Structure 1
Amino acid sequence: MAEGTGGATGGVRGGVSGGGTGAEAVGEPILRVRDLYKHYPLTRGILFKKQIGAVRAVDGVDFDLAAGETLGIVGESGCGKSTVAKMLVNLERPTSGSIAYKGDDITKLSPRALRAVRRNIQMVFQDPYTSLNPRMTVGDIIGEPFEIHPEVAPKGSRRRKVQDLLDVVGLNPEYINRYPHQFSGGQRQRIGIARGLALRPEIIVADEPVSALDVSVQAQVVNLLERLQDEFGLSYVFIAHDLSIVRHISDRVAVMYLGRIVETGSDAEIYDHPTHPYTQALLSAVPVPDPAARERRERLILTGDVPSPANIPSGCRFRTRCWKARERCALEVPLLAVPAVFRDTPTPAAHDSACHFAEEKRVVPPETPPPENRPPESRPGE
């Protein structure tokens, strides 16, 4: 079946920052996460179980999300991104820490109060094939939230609301009686987005929403998310592996490694002025379309494997793969703060980085402009 294109308005944004279209981070954050931990116990024994350790999936995460803002979270598989997402919507209960939505810690709310909050924080899942019930029609899938929150849509108006949601995400409203297997991957993800919008939330947690889609379809879905953010005033927590997509949609970016955020800042600060070695290594692996720029860039190849979250290294958890590691790195845990070398300097490198030896390094060189766009003095043969 042909891919729906109604939501794909406009191409990938250009410009230096490439940031999202959300509002600037001003005022009190709509979501405030502090000291968030999620440890899964490791036990031994059958009848008498004894805890012998823990998998430290999330190990102390802090961040704020402003109204209308997009926060991108990137990192390798297993770094804890999806676990953070599940805790934000209370699919996983944190071991400790707080998740404050408009000042109320949702980890301490009663089931009734939590039900009301959940209406305002919705999730779009990674796999558009397994996140939809194959035995339910599209109308039943998108309208299911109305069964839990009937105050949003009385029974008589639900079909009309579902059709409106299909239209909003670029699908034909007449598809309401079709089943998920009758749609392509991109169309299924649009159905998942429509389900997330059904209750008119303020925050959407998008857990790798385009990683299972073709490249051309990824652009359509990302453009759809941007349009919906402007139209409905949404705030996004956008999780992805693809750093170019994260830069395209995000206002701020947080880089995670082994359960913790190791660097955070605006999209321009992270992509053009990275200071943490892990961020620099990630950026050096991003494909560069410009052949000339690709030849000039420096590849940073990490050695060794990612340590087990059940046996995290002492001190800096990245030190076992870092080319800058010193004795101090094994003894002292680096704080996520502006490095001392940049604190008194008005530079984009003055953003939070958890490294004892933080150093600015431009990994991805700027693309070479085509000859017709270069200044006269730079054209060959003149």
Structure 2
Amino acid sequence: MAGTEPILEVGGLVKHYPLTRGVLFKKQIGAVRAVDGVDLALGRGETLGIVGESGCGKSTLARLLVNLESPTAGSIRYKGEDITGLSGRALKTVRRNIQMVFQDPYTSLNPRMTVGDIVGEPYEIHPEAAPKGDRRRRVRELLDVVGLDPDYVGRYPHQFSGGQRQRIGIARGLALRPEIIVADEPVSALDVSVQAQVINLMARLQDEFGLSYVFIAHDLSIVRHISDRVAVMYLGRIVERGRDTEIYDHPTHPYTQALLSAVPVPDPEARQRRERILLSGDVPSPADIPSGCRFRTRCWKARERCALEVPALAVPEEFRFATGPAAHDSACHFAEEKRPVLPRDPGREPREEPA
């Protein structure tokens, strides 16, 4: 479980993409606010799940965390050091400790390279991580760790299934023995049975290598299985965050409640008993975000205050002096607990709370 001090801290993180007009003389007329003020903390050995609809900024946040994108504003602190302004050798050192598993196993692997070359490529970039004569052996060990035959080192990506390709991507992410892995929807392109295998593999590797995960997905049931804490994103911001049991069993933000009500439930009786929340309208454009609460255009609780005042991400006033699971951060002026949104998972053991 997570340690008391965070290994990664995100404060006021912003990423805006300018919208321009003109050919020779370009003029900025607006901006796509993909990430618009995100605050997060990841504990050592912890899994932080980030969920939300497509287009809410999850993948942009992932690229910012591994420094594939430069933020417009805000800070990303790794072990207390702000890494947003790093470059050259200093950035290379940090990247060794923060690796990424990409969403699509069909496009994230170079089809012209063998599996051995793909998994061993990090050693070419960071030669200090492994002696040159020892790299082939380490690659074979990594393939064995993720459940693949070490003799597959000479094969090419097109010779593998989707689940096997994602295992190759995980092996590549583990090559440098990182402390943090940012997994951007690592199972969304896989079949349901293969999803379970990959999730169980990642959980086992977390214990074996002492990893901290930022696990991004739009499937809330997957996030529930692996995460210690969950943050819900909407239009570039976190609207609710807390421990997994707080979010899934005691959601207080209307958007989270609507998302949970759409999760498929295998039990027909439980499916009939729960209330389905249907949101009206479409997700607003990130280039034209509503004033005040950005969810108000689709929210059944919206009032005049919602259009005038941006809700703070904090424990709602109603639960401020409570000690129950509903007393967690929620960016809503009229937050209230609604349960049961999802049937309880009888096979899930409650996770230990941070010290």
- Of 175, 178, 183 in structure 1, the residue corresponding to residue 152 of structure 2 is 175
Provide the rounded CA distance (Å) in 1 between the counterparts of 2:345 and 2:6: 39
Matched, 1:344 2:312: no
Deviations 1:115-174 (A, max 9, x none): 000000000000000000000000000000000110111110010000000000000000
Shift of the 55–221 alpha-carbon distance from structure 1 to 2, 3 Å rule, reads same
Deviations 1:244-276 (A, max 9, x none): 110000000000000000000000000000000
Shift of the 118–280 alpha-carbon distance from structure 1 to 2, 3 Å rule, reads same
Which position in structure 2 is the counterpart of 1:306?
Answer: 283
- Of 5, 20, 39 in structure 2, the residue corresponding to residue 43 of structure 1 is 20
Shift of the 365–186 alpha-carbon distance from structure 1 to 2, 3 Å rule, reads closer
SS in 2 for 1:261: strand
Shift of the 322–198 alpha-carbon distance from structure 1 to 2, 3 Å rule, reads same
Provide the rounded CA distance (Å) in 1 between the counterparts of 2:88 and 2:10: 20
Shift of the 168–365 alpha-carbon distance from structure 1 to 2, 3 Å rule, reads closer
- Of 233, 245, 250 in structure 2, the residue corresponding to residue 273 of structure 1 is 250
Matched, 1:321 2:301: no
Q: Which amino acid aligns with 1:247?
A: R
Provide the rounded CA distance (Å) in 2 between the counterparts of 1:183 and 1:340: 53
Which position in structure 2 is the counterpart of 1:110?
Answer: 87
SS in 2 for 1:113: helix
Q: CA deviation at 1:363?
A: 4.2
Q: Which amino acid aligns with 1:270?
A: I
Provide the rounded CA distance (Å) in 2 between the counterparts of 1:166 and 1:368: 33
Q: CA deviation at 1:291?
A: 1.1
1:135-174 equivalences in 2 (<5 Å):
135-174=112-151
SS in 1 for 2:256: helix
Runs of 5+ consecutive residues of structure 2 not aligned to the other structure: 347-355
Q: Which amino acid aligns with 1:227?
A: R
Provide the rounded CA distance (Å) in 1 between the counterparts of 2:193 and 2:5: 37
Deviations 1:28-84 (A, max 9, x none): 210000000000000000110000000000000000000000000000000000000
Provide the rounded CA distance (Å) in 1 between the counterparts of 2:212 and 2:88: 24
Q: Which amino acid aligns with 2:239?
A: V
Matched, 1:73 2:55: no
Provide the rounded CA distance (Å) in 2 between the counterparts of 1:192 and 1:109: 26
Matched, 1:186 2:182: no
Q: CA deviation at 1:367?
A: 5.8
Matched, 1:237 2:230: no
- Tell me if structure 2 keeps the 8 A contact 1:38–1:59: yes
Provide the rounded CA distance (Å) in 2 between the counterparts of 1:329 and 1:337: 16
Which position in structure 1 is the counterpart of 2:181?
Answer: 204
Matched, 1:214 2:176: no
- Tell me if structure 2 keeps the 8 A contact 1:69–1:235: yes
- Percent of counterpart pairs with the same letter? 83
Provide the rounded CA distance (Å) in 2 between the counterparts of 1:133 and 1:93: 25
Provide the rounded CA distance (Å) in 1 between the counterparts of 2:49 and 2:4: 20
- Tell me if structure 2 keeps the 8 A contact 1:284–1:363: no
Provide the rounded CA distance (Å) in 2 between the counterparts of 1:103 and 1:368: 37
Q: CA deviation at 1:365?
A: 4.7
Provide the rounded CA distance (Å) in 2 between the counterparts of 1:190 and 1:250: 20
- Of 65, 68, 78 in structure 2, the residue corresponding to residue 88 of structure 1 is 65
- Tell me if structure 1 keeps the 8 A contact 2:252–2:330: yes
- Tell me if structure 2 keeps the 8 A contact 1:138–1:175: yes
Shift of the 51–178 alpha-carbon distance from structure 1 to 2, 3 Å rule, reads same
Q: Which amino acid aligns with 2:152?
A: Y
Provide the rounded CA distance (Å) in 2 between the counterparts of 1:86 and 1:272: 30
Scaled by the length of structure 2, the TM-score of the pair is 0.96
Runs of 5+ consecutive residues of structure 1 not aligned to the other structure: 1-22, 370-382
Q: Highest CA radius of gyration, 1 or 2? A: 1
Which position in structure 2 is the counterpart of 1:19?
Answer: none
Q: CA deviation at 1:366?
A: 3.0
Q: Which amino acid aligns with 1:261?
A: I
- Tell me if structure 1 keeps the 8 A contact 2:120–2:175: yes
Deviations 1:70-109 (A, max 9, x none): 0000000000000000000011110010000001111112
- Tell me if structure 2 keeps the 8 A contact 1:290–1:367: no
Matched, 1:257 2:242: no
Q: Which amino acid aligns with 1:260?
A: R
Mean alpha-carbon deviation: is it higher for 68-77 or for 103-112?
A: 103-112
SS in 2 for 1:164: helix
Q: CA deviation at 1:364?
A: 2.8
SS in 2 for 1:131: coil
SS in 2 for 1:30: strand
SS in 2 for 1:107: coil
